[in-house]
Chains A and B, each alone.
Chain A
Amino acid sequence: MSLPTTFFGWIQLLIEKYGPLFLNGAGFTMLIAISGTVLGFLLGLLVAIVRTIPVSKKDNIFKRILMKLVNIILNVYIEVFRGTPMIVQAMVIFYGSMMYLGLRMPALGAAIFIISINTGAYMAEIIRGGIISVDKGQKEAAHAIGMTHWQSMVHVVLPQAVRNIMPSIGNEFVVNIKDSSVLNVISVSELFFVGKSAAGTYARYFEAFAIIAAIYFVLTFTTTRLLRLLEKKMDGGKHYTICGSQSAADATITLEKGENVPHD
């Protein structure tokens, strides 16, 4: 069998030979990106919640010192993981845990672990920003009817904070789809890694990575659209119903959102 001589010829050959491998890589990339975003979100949520626990002068000294200490530790975590490249974090964690802890992490597990704590550091700041940006009257109203700090967080502040930062969370997800490619350094067979192996066989880097680029683009483009749809859904229906009469259903009026509500 003679080798192709044109660009499209090479593309065709690579797809025929490595198509399933590429799809597999795309699957791993999505798996890593989704788990990293979800776990990173949960981690960031936890960190942000701890960092926004109110401490007043009236609390006992032990609690105040403990909170201060915890806050310092969390700050260090956020600064370090935001201030160094994930590719370096991957090397340090993967080889560090192997050499000094005798821990041989499976590549996929290590990849998800690394991307999660990396995302967690960004999410912590995003979520804290979301919490702070919720109008403080909301919290005061919650306290005024007797809710505790935790009740007001769970039922009033966090739902609003998370809704407000949905675009940033989606953005983190898209970033993770792309940036998970750096995890090829720990030999997890995500999309970039399989692209590299495929390219290497025939030394056709341009053609192989043109295919990989196209796949990445399809992944991020679809994800972006889906997230936008989800956001629209979260905003609730476009309409709401005014119950004109409890007995006669035809007495209800449906209003468009944004339309001025008549008042009596």
Chain B
Amino acid sequence: MTDMNILQVQNLKKDFGSHQVLKDITFSVNRGDVISIIGASGSGKSTLLRCINFLEDPTAGKILYHGKDAEQLNRAEYHSKVGMVFQSFNLFSNMSALDNCIIGQTLVLKRSKQEAKKKAMEYLEKVGMTPYMNARPGQLSGGQKQRVAIARALAMDPEILLFDEPTSALDPEMVGEVLSVMRDLAEGGLTMLVVTHEMGFARDVSNRVIFMDQGVIAEDAPPAEIFTNPKQQRTREFLSRILDK
């Protein structure tokens, strides 16, 4: 049972000055979970992911990784196990797509150059970006950049991938290509925590949906329940607003 558990977020709080952005967040992620995090702009979704990945220092609370306090773990090892895909891609712009997928493996995981390259090619293939492996990020479209960014994260052999609105910066016609990669990953059994405004993805792909409102988890339930029979009034209001659009 505990072996199934990858992450436990316990009473997480985050303040920016006097602004309490995360108030008291507690939830856990089990192996194979695909969790969509939804909620209005400013409700703290990005901050939550950034705290889990220590891009922000939590003000209070704990993050347990396989039952161990993540802050006490080796940072490099934790980061390689908990990957992140950003809204704005953040591909290293001084490197080719291929090198983007190699560098973390050689520097952090100390893999040999050949092994890293083999792995990188494998994942570029998986996201359909093999033909562009020598291109610089500046030469790729948004959807292509995001697919390379996903390959870069996967090449680290993460146990869980965090996605922060991976399709929000994309032109509408490119959203599909990235979502279909993510769908494949979910079907392949990857554990994922996805902040998204794509309700279709939340409903069809995830096994759990977390609705955040003003720094707290207002509801955490399977999509069938959230979308058809939400317990909370505010969930209902949010969904009717977003689905009407």
Contact = CB atoms under 8 A, between A and B. Distances in A.
Interface of A: 56, 58, 135, 137-138, 140-148, 151, 155-156, 159-160, 163, 236, 240-244, 255, 257, 260-261, 263-264
Interface in B91-117: 91-94, 103-104, 107-109
> What 6 A-B pairs have minimum CB-CB distances, sorted nearest first?
A146-B79, A145-B104, A141-B90, A137-B90, A146-B108, A146-B76
Interface string B32-57: 00000000000000000000011101
Given A144-B83, A146-B75, A146-B156, A263 B90 contact: no
A212 B156 CA distance: 60
A146 B136 contact: no
A56 B103 CA distance: 26
A1 B29 CA distance: 99
A236 B177 CA distance: 29
Contacts of A143: 53-55, 79
B141 A147 contact: no
18 contacts: A137-B88, A138-B90, A140-B55, A144-B79, A145-B83, A145-B152, A145-B153, A146-B76, A146-B77, A147-B76, A155-B107, A163-B94, A240-B139, A241-B134, A244-B131, A260-B141, A261-B144, A264-B128
Given A145-B153, A240-B136, A137 B57 contact: no
B141 A145 contact: no
Contacts of B239: none
B26 interface: no
Interface of B: 53-55, 57, 75-80, 83-84, 86, 88, 90-94, 103-104, 107-109, 128, 130-136, 139-141, 143-144, 149, 152-153, 156, 174, 177
Contacts of A141: 84, 86, 90-92, 149
A160 B79 CA distance: 23
Contacts of A263: 141, 143-144, 174, 177
B243 to A, nearest CB: 29
B173 to A, nearest CB: 9
B134 A240 contact: yes
Nearest to B77: A146
Nearest to A140: B55
A263 B153 CA distance: 21
A235 to B, nearest CB: 10
B16 to A, nearest CB: 15
Contacts of B177: 263-264
Contact of B94 (A140, A156, A244, A260): A156
Given A142-B92, A261-B141, 13 more contacts: A141-B91, A141-B149, A144-B84, A144-B86, A145-B152, A146-B79, A146-B104, A147-B108, A160-B93, A240-B134, A243-B130, A261-B139, A261-B144
Contact of B90 (A58, A140, A155, A241): A140
A144 B141 contact: no
B135 A159 contact: no
A165 to B, nearest CB: 14
Contacts of B103: 145, 147, 155
Interface centre among A56, A140, A236, A244, by most chain B C-beta atoms within 10 angstroms, is: A140
Given A141-B91, A146-B76, A147-B104, A242 B55 contact: no
A83 B109 CA distance: 47
A39 B92 CA distance: 28
Contacts of B139: 240, 255, 257, 261
Contacts of B133: 243
